[in-house]
């Protein structure tokens, strides 16, 4: 399948609609159940602090998955993403309160390639800090 966005309608610099994703301790428990990743740094505050973290942190793969949603929502087809990679730069710290944390994600078309694909660069921030670096997706457009 290809994206619903037409390649000819997209220019370098096109900004994707930004999104904010809430993350609570309950979200982390749900993700742990779905992924099978029950590392205690994602649910046990005492353990997280013992290993030098400020508090419980979100799974890196969860953060990565939330960020790519900006691209798949824009493209209209998750199958249009042909490549995706990130570097984890800072953890998403999730406090044990009613608010939790948020991940703010924005994206921009950084390059148009010859094979009807575009490179989208993503920025993901939580608590004022960039949590993903080199976050890039190649997307095949219609």
Give ∠ CA 19-42-86 in degrees, rounded to 5. 50
Distance CA 85, CA 87 (A): 7
Q: What sign for the dihedral angle of Cα 18, 11, 76, 116?
A: negative
Residue whose C-alpha is closest to residue 107's, from 128, 79, 86: 86
The residue-averaged pLDDT of 9-29 equals 97
For the residues 117-133, what does the mean pLDDT come to? Answer: 98
Query: pLDDT (tens digit, 9 = 90+) per residue, 81-91?
Result: 999 999 999 99
In a 3-state reduction of DSSP, which class is residue 135? strand
How would you list the strands of the sheet with 101-112, edge to edge?
15-23, 101-112, 117-126, 129-140, 81-88
Predicted confidence at residue 76, as pLDDT, reads 94
What average pLDDT does the structure give for the chain? 96
Distance of CA 21 to the CA centre of its chain: 9
Q: Which of 4-8, 36-40, 134-138 has the lowest mean pLDDT?
A: 4-8
Q: pLDDT digits over 89-120, tens only?
A: 999 999 999 999 999 999 999 999 989 999 99
Domain boundaries, the chain: 7-140
pLDDT (0 to 100) of residue 28: 97
pLDDT in tens, 53-70: 999 999 999 999 999 999
Four-way CATH pick for 7-140: 3.40.50.20, 3.10.129.10, 3.40.50.300, 3.90.650.10? 3.10.129.10
Give the phi and the psi of residue 118 in degrees, each rounded to 5.
-125, 150
């Amino acid at each position: 399948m290809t994206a619903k966005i037409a390649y000819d309608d997209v220019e370098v610099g096109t900004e994707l609609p930004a999104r904010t994703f809430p993350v609570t301790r309950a979200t982390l428990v749900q993700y742990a159940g779905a992924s099978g990743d029950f590392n205690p740094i994602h649910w046990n505050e005492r353990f997280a602090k013992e290993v030098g973290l400020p508090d419980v942190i979100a799974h890196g793969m969860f953060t990565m998955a939330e960020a790519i949603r900006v691209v798949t929502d824009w493209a209209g087809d998750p199958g249009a993403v042909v490549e995706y990679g990130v570097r984890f730069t800072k953890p998403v710290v999730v406090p044990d309160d009613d608010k939790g944390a948020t991940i703010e994600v924005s994206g921009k078309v950084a390059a148009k390639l010859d094979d009807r694909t575009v490179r989208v660069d993503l920025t993901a921030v939580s608590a004022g800090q960039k949590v993903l670096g080199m976050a890039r997706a190649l997307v095949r457009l219609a």
